[in-house]
Amino acid sequence: MPNDKILVTQSSMPPYEEYIEAIKPLWESHWLTNMGMYHKELEARLKEYLDVPELSLMVNGHMALEMAIQAFDFPEGAEVITTPFTFISTTHAIVRNRLQPVFCDVKLSDGTIDETKIEDLITEKTVAIVPVHVYGNVCNVEEIQRIADKYNLKVIYDAAHAFGVKYKGKGIGSYGDASIFSFHATKVFNTIEGGAVAFSDHRIYEKLYNLKNFGIRGEELVSDVGANAKMNEFCAIMGLCNLKHIDKAILERKEIYDFYRKKIAEIKGLYLLDEKEDATRNYSYFPLVIGKDHEISRDEVFARLRENNIFARKYFYPLSADQACFKNKYRNANIINARKLAQNILILPMYAGLKIEVASRIVNIIKTN
């Protein structure tokens, strides 16, 4: 068995000397947080890179979503249509805003919310739709927007997986009323911990500023009730450094992605999710569907990889709707496809710097003879 663990992801980091040199001024200024100069610079740089009208940095992706939802002042107990095929953060952000998640099934073809099933879930209590660009796969943004306009609903996208993705030439964060990004250490682009909300209405910027900074608007003025969700300067500088290398990192990911894709096509019973036309990719994940016609099951593939110190993930299993914290509240939800996908999906290791020979070893372990 190899001694080194191969994890599902590995954090991208700039050269050590580059980051150390970049943080030196902090020892002179002692300005470590509270929307310092690096926070402001990263906000501006990301607004340009992501091609979005407005952007507000946050301490992490979860707080970005929680704050984005809160900024729209939905009434307590209102319903939000969302997907169960996502990281638990998406659901928690809705629940922690004292709103009710209503789970819509997903498409087996790409794992995104099934837009054809949204309208049947809308009631007089529905106020918003929170879809997820899962694995960076772009949702049907046109149809979702049509439905939202018809019923006067807000659309808040969880784009945690979709950093840098463009659809029809536009930054993915420019769709809907708001989109959130995660800059967690495991993501394509990271600030160690971090996140952002992208949006078009500048009034949302003021709301988010108050929400993430205790509502403080001056030395003697607190205008609103808020939380503390600010990004610090060390994280902002890490983001500025990583942004210089992001295009190279995505190209390295593409090399691994293309290798996997070619090799997987040669193995019976293994399937890939569809890729949307007119959408770029950031190669954030490599999701693999283990079909019934494969010689061993998803769980057996998962176990075989672990025996060889390769830590793939069943991402997302269980579904967020089926997690223990909800105590079977959603057991009768009509989310058949989502549950089927969760039973068969496996995320293979994917990150900049992953060697082709390691990817080859992973594929050979998955093969059955």
Is residue 295 within 8 Å of residue 368, measured between CB atoms? yes
Burial (CB count <10 Å: 0-12, 13-18, 19+), residue 364? exposed
What is the DSSP-derived secondary structure letter of residue 215?
A: T
Q: Which of 72, 35, 92, 90 is nearest to 214 (CA)?
A: 35
pLDDT tens for 249-308 read 999 999 999 999 999 999 999 999 999 999 999 999 999 999 999 999 999 999 999 999
| Rounded Cα gap, residues 230 and 63, in angstroms | 10
- Is 90 exceeded by the pLDDT of residue 2? no
**For residue 311, which amino acid is it?**
F
| Rounded Cα gap, residues 317 and 123, in angstroms | 29
Q: Which of 276, 227, 277, 189 is nearest to 66 (CA)?
A: 227
Mean pLDDT of 110-122: 98
- Is 60 exceeded by the pLDDT of residue 74? yes
pLDDT tens for 318-331 read 999 999 999 999 99
Partners of 6 in the β-ladder: 310
Cis previous bond, 101, omega within 30:
no
Q: Which of 10, 22, 18, 44 is nearest to 234 (CA)?
A: 22
Q: What is the DSSP string of 10-31?
A: ------HHHHHHHHHHHHHH--
Domains of the chain: 16-241 (3.40.640.10), 245-366 (3.90.1150.10)
Which helix (H) or strand (E) segment is 307 a member of?
helix 298-307
| Rounded Cα gap, residues 145 and 349, in angstroms | 34
Number of Cβ within 10 Å of residue 332's Cβ equals 7
Structural tokens at position 19: 């980051």
Structural tokens at position 160: 């945690």
Q: Which of 254, 262, 312 is nearest to 283 (CA)?
A: 254
Contacts by 218-221, CB closer than 8 A, 24 or more apart = none
Q: What is the DSSP string of 126-161?
A: EEEEE-B-GGGPPP-HHHHHHHHHHHT-EEEEE-TT
Place of tokens 């295009």: 247
- Is 50 exceeded by the pLDDT of residue 139? yes
CA atoms within 13 A on the CB side of 267: 25
310-311/6-7 β-pairing: parallel
pLDDT tens for 309-362 read 999 999 999 999 999 999 999 999 999 999 999 999 999 999 999 999 999 999
Computed over every residue of the chain, the mean pLDDT equals: 97
